[in-house]
Amino acid sequence: MAYSLNRAQIIGNITRDPEVRQTPSGTSVCSFSIATNSRWKGADGEWQDRAEFHNIVCWGKLAEIAGQYAKKGSKIYVDGRLQTRDWAGDDGVKRYRTEIVAENLILLDSKGGGAPMMDSSRTAAGIQQAGSRQQDPMSQEQPADEEITVDDLPF
């Protein structure tokens, strides 16, 4: 039996506020993009910088949580799988889009100053796909009339 692995892990900054929509069947879907940067020394000895932009898609409860807590400019860790969609444009030309389908998100900014906290999992807001963790505090039912704030999160 042949095995394969489709895994993507990135850390970067959100380039636009996440957009949450509903499918016709009522499932939430959230999309946003993340910029990552790479730096190297060119042949001339000068530093070169390049930004890559990654399209992110979240589904279900994770989409709802990402839409509520993730914001443009926030530093975020995304773990998921690569998926390429294709469609025919209005001009009949086949188009492709490669996305990371997120299964786990971790917001790396602090609540107050926006400083990354990659070394402190207690204060970073971790978000996982609903059902992927048995003790997921985000998947517990909340009263409909009670607003949840970042201060209410147990981590």
User: Is 69 contained in some domain?
Assistant: yes
Ordered mean pLDDT values, 10 residues apiece, the chain (155 residues): 92 96 95 95 93 96 94 96 92 94 91 38 41 38 45 50
Q: Is residue 142 part of a domain?
A: no
Residue 150 placed within a domain: no
Residue 143: inside a domain: no
Residue 52 Cα distances to 34, 38, 143, 146, angstroms: 8, 8, 41, 39
Full domain range(s) for residue 74: 8-133
In a domain, 99, yes or no: yes
The span from the CA of 108 to the CA of 70, in Å, is 10
Domain count, the chain: 1
| Residue at 73 is within a domain | yes
Which CATH number covers residue 33?
Answer: 2.40.50.140
pTM of the model: 0.68
Give a yes or no: residue 113 inside a domain.
Answer: yes
Distance between alpha carbon 87 and the CA centroid of its chain, in Å? 23
Q: Does 108 fall in a domain?
A: yes
